Amino acid sequence: MRVKRVIVIGGGAAGLGAAYKIRRAAEAGCDVDCVLLEKDTRLGGKLATDIVRDAEGGEYVIDGGSDAFISGKPAIGRIARMLGIAEEMVPAREENKKTLIVKGKRLIELPDGIMMFAPTKLVPLATTPLYSWPAKFRMALDWFMPPKVRWAEGETAQDHDETLESFVVRRMGRESLDRLAEPLVGGVHASDPKEMSLAATFPNFLEMEQQSGSLIKGFLAERKKREEMRRKYPPKPGAKPWAFFNTFRRGMQQLTDGIAGAVGAKRIRTGAEVASLERISEGWRVTLASGETLDADAVIVATEAWAATRLMREIDDDVADLLASIPCSSSATVPMAFRTEDCPADLAWFGILSPQVEKRPILAVTLSSSKWPDRSPEGRVLLRGFVGGPQNQRMLEASDEDLIEMVRAQIVELLGMKGDAQPVIASVYRWVGGMPQYTLGHLDRVDEIERRCSDIRGLALAGGAYRGVGIPNCIESGEAAVSKVLGDLGIEYAEDTAAPARER
C-alpha cells in the first residue's frame, strides 16, 4: 500500500506531539509518514531554553517560555519514558516552595492553608495581613452561602459558564479576587478575570460549588482525599521526591530535542512558513511563503489560533471566524541574574505575584534558581520577570533595554536590594499573541470548531488555543488530531497510553 503523508504545521508542543505519534504509528507498521513544518528557525514554539554564559563563564539554564509542567497530567511523563529521558525530569525544590504577594511596598507570604484562593485554615487566615478584616469575614461567608443555581441532571460547568471575576466576587468578595485569585488563577492563563471562562479553565470550582455547597468545603474535602491517598500510597524508599511542578534538568528544550530526535531530522523543516492551505482532489496542498508547494493526504494545523485563522479561511469560512473569535494576548519574560551578595539573605521562595490592583508594571517574578536545581552558577541568583497580559499590552511596545531596566528596578525595589544593583546577564523573550484567551463561552466555540472540522476529511486542528494551554494538554491535542486524520485515511492505530497509577 502507498505510504500516506501527513503534514504537521507548527512545531510547538502540539505539533511535536502529533509528529511523534505519527512516527510511532509508522514504526508499528502503519503506512503513514509525516513532515513537520515550522516557520521559526527554532523548534519548540513556547518551549524555548537557552544555555547562557556570563562574562566569567558561569552557566545558566534559561527557559524563556514554559518552564514547568504539572505532575497531575500524565502526557509528559509518558512521552519522556518512551523517549528514554524520564530520568532527566526534575521536581521543583519543595523546600523553597513559598509564594509572596505584593501589597504596597511589602511582600506577604501566601498564608498556610490557602488552596488556590480559598482559605482552609482559620488561624493563618485570621493572622495574615494580605486581607482586611471585612474581607476575611466576607471570604468565610462562602461556607454558608448556597450555590447560585442548582444544575439539572446531566448539566455540566459548560452549561453554567461564568467569568472568574463574577464567580470569585460572588463567593468570596472583591478583595479575594483582587489580592489573590486575579494574580494566581488569572495569571496562569495571563487572562483578564472579567473575561476568563471558568468552565474552560477551572471547571472544578463550579463543580465544587455544586457538590460541596461551598468552595471552602470543597477544597477541604479535596485536601482530606489527598492526605488519605498519601497515607495509603506512601512514596517508595529511594523514589524521586514528588512535586506539583516539574521540569527537565537542562530545561524544557530537552523535551523538544527528544521528540525531534525520535521524529528524525529528515522529517522536520524549520524556517518553513506555511502561507496557504488548499484542498486538491486527492488530499491537500500546502504552499510555503517561499512559494514551494507540498502535497499531503492529511494536514494537522498546530499553530496559534490567529495563524490557523489565516490558513482555514480558504477551507471553511465559519471555522476561520470561530478561530478569529479566540483572542490572544502578548507577554514577555525577562530573565536576569544577580550576584548573591546583592540579593537578600532569604531566597527560599519560588515566586512573587503582583496583583493588578498594585498597578505595577510587572505581573510576576519567578526565582528560577530556588525553584529548580542547577539553573545558575555558585554565587549567582537567577530570576525571571513576567510582563504583559491582556491589561498591559502597551508595555510590550518598549524596547528590550527599557523592559530589562523596568524589570530590574522592580526586582531591586521588591527585594530591597541596593538601587544600583545590576544584573550580570539579562534578556527578553517576547511572546506576541502567545497566550490564547479562553473567554466566556469558549468551550461552545471549540465544540463548534471541532464539529465542523470532523466533517473535513484529512484535516485536524491542535494546540493550546482549544482545550487547555498546559504543555501536556497541547501534546494530547496533537495526538488526538493524529487519531482523527488516521481515522479519515482508514489507518487503524491504537496505543496504550495508560499511565502508571501514581501519575493518573
Ligand X SMILES: Cc1cc2nc3c(=O)[nH]c(=O)nc-3n(C[C@H](O)[C@H](O)[C@H](O)COP(=O)(O)OP(=O)(O)OC[C@H]3O[C@@H](n4cnc5c(N)ncnc54)[C@H](O)[C@@H]3O)c2cc1C
Site residues, ligand X (CB under 6 A): 9-15, 37-40, 45-47, 65-69, 273-274, 302-304, 307, 331, 333, 431, 434-435, 463-464, 469-471, 474
Region of residue 444 (left: phi > 0; alpha: psi -120 to 50; beta: else): alpha
C-beta closer to ligand X: residue 355 or 464: 464
Could you tell me whether strands 99-103 and 351-353 are parallel, antiparallel, or unpaired per DSSP bridges?
A: parallel
CA-wise closest residue to 296 among 323, 267, 271: 267
C-beta closer to ligand X: residue 216 or 352: 352
Shortest distance, CB of residue 189 to ligand X, whole angstroms?
A: 9
Shortest distance, CB of residue 260 to ligand X, whole angstroms?
A: 12
Region of residue 316 (left: phi > 0; alpha: psi -120 to 50; beta: else): beta
Q: How many CB atoms lie within 10 A of CB 287?
A: 14
Fill in the amino acid letter for 406: M
C-beta closer to ligand X: residue 120 or 437: 437
Shortest distance, CB of residue 304 to ligand X, whole angstroms?
A: 5
Shortest distance, CB of residue 140 to ligand X, whole angstroms?
A: 33
- In terms of residues, how long is the chain? 504
Can you say whether the dihedral through the CA atoms of 479, 480, 483, 485 is positive or negative?
negative
C-beta closer to ligand X: residue 128 or 392: 392
Kind and range of the H or E element at 201? Answer: helix 198-201
Q: How many CB atoms lie within 10 A of CB 417?
A: 15
Whole-number Å distance between alpha carbons of 119 and 455: 47
Shortest distance, CB of residue 175 to ligand X, whole angstroms?
A: 27
C-beta closer to ligand X: residue 131 or 431: 431
C-beta closer to ligand X: residue 120 or 329: 329
Shortest distance, CB of residue 479 to ligand X, whole angstroms?
A: 12
Q: How many CB atoms lie within 10 A of CB 37?
A: 23
C-beta closer to ligand X: residue 215 or 387: 387
Cell of 380: 549567582
C-beta closer to ligand X: residue 275 or 347: 275
Question: Which residues contact residue 211 at a Cβ distance below 8 angstroms, ignoring those fewer than 6 apart?
Answer: 218
Shortest distance, CB of residue 330 to ligand X, whole angstroms?
A: 9
Phi/psi of residue 81, each to 5°?
-65, -40
Asked if residue 439 lies in contact with residue 430, where contact means CB atoms within 8 angstroms, the answer is no
Shortest distance, CB of residue 334 to ligand X, whole angstroms?
A: 11
Fill in the amino acid letter for 251: G
Shortest distance, CB of residue 442 to ligand X, whole angstroms?
A: 14
C-alpha distance from residue 412 to each of 153, 315, 333, 336, 408 (Å): 54, 52, 17, 12, 6
Question: Which residues contact residue 25 at a Cβ distance below 8 angstroms, ignoring those fewer than 6 apart?
Answer: 32, 482, 486, 491, 493
How far separated are the first and last CA of the chain, in Å rounded?
38
Shortest distance, CB of residue 298 to ligand X, whole angstroms?
A: 16
C-alpha distance from residue 343 to each of 43, 53, 385, 490 (Å): 35, 20, 15, 61
C-beta closer to ligand X: residue 16 or 181: 16
C-beta closer to ligand X: residue 74 or 377: 74
C-beta closer to ligand X: residue 68 or 486: 68
Can you say whether the dihedral through the CA atoms of 111, 113, 114, 119 is positive or negative?
negative
CA-wise closest residue to 208 among 126, 120, 128: 120
Shortest distance, CB of residue 234 to ligand X, whole angstroms?
A: 28
